[in-house]
Structure 1
Amino acid sequence: MTAAWSAEELDRIGAAEELDLASVRADETLRPYVTMWVVRAGDDVYVRSAYGPDNPWYRRATASGMGRVRAGGVERDVTFAHAAPDVHGEIDKAYHAKYDRYGPAIVGSVVGAKAVPVTIQLLPR
């Protein structure tokens, strides 16, 4: 069963510049944390692999299905899930609103059609 993010957690994670993500190994220990951008869309939290499906952190996260995240003073165990097909427009808007100041080349790595298959929804557990 999945828990829900509290309003405070959503606000803190949504305002955080970056998120640290660690996937769980087969022996249930955490891998080292990887730092990435994070966005909030509605009451959900998402990350995307800027370097596609072959990015090592992405492969490990999708293979394990579980991990831990830290952002904005929040630390939670999470389940990694595929994002629903109808939320990608909102996720793109959230990335643009939060990170466009870094320029189109950088933000372009995490928005648009190529980012859809490498989007992970973070579900608290």
Structure 2
Amino acid sequence: MTWTQAELSAIGEAEELEISPRRADGSYVKPVTVWVVRHDDDLYVRSYKGEDGRWFRAACERSEGHVTAGGVSKDVSFVLEDDSMVNDGIDLAYRMKYRDQDTAYVDPMVASPAKETTIRLVPR
């Protein structure tokens, strides 16, 4: 399954995304607000706290959950992105989208340890 252009635009233009990884028992973790960026025809999130982020650890356990942003609500799979060329594009997407935000928040999102937690959101 892929994102529609309308979904990509709506979520990609949203300032924030609510992410809820699924627990082993099938319930969802309480939604956490994160920044989301669009790169080409994909959507990405990163954990500000790196691998120490609770939502990130939960996302890695089951690799699925639910996201809401820009009026779109969707079940997704979480796919860790480790392609350095793609990650460079995601860095640029973060810098461009959040250029009006304080660099104290933006700079950590394009550096370690957040960069190592890049997750591609894949609709289910």
TM-score (norm. length: structure 2):
0.94
TM-score (norm. length: structure 1):
0.94
C-alpha distance in 2, partners of 1:13/1:78? 13
Deviations along 1:1-45, whole A, 9 cap, x unmatched? Answer: xx1000000000000000000011111111211011000000000
CA RMSD of aligned residues (A): 1.1
Report what 1:99 is aligned to.
98
Structure 1 runs not aligned, ≥5 long:
none
Is 1:73 the counterpart of 2:81? The answer is no
The alignment partner of 1:102 has SS state of: coil
Question: Alignment identity in percent?
Answer: 44
Correspondence 1:1-125 to 2 at 5 A: 3-85=1-83, 86-125=85-124
Q: Once the 2 structures are TM-superposed, how far is the Cα of residue 75 of structure 1 from its aligned partner?
A: 0.6
Contact 2:29 2:55 in 1 (8 A): no
Which shifted more, 80-89 or 44-53?
80-89
Q: Give every structure 1 segment of 4 or more consecutive aligned residues whose post-TM-superposition deviation is greater than 4 Å.
A: none
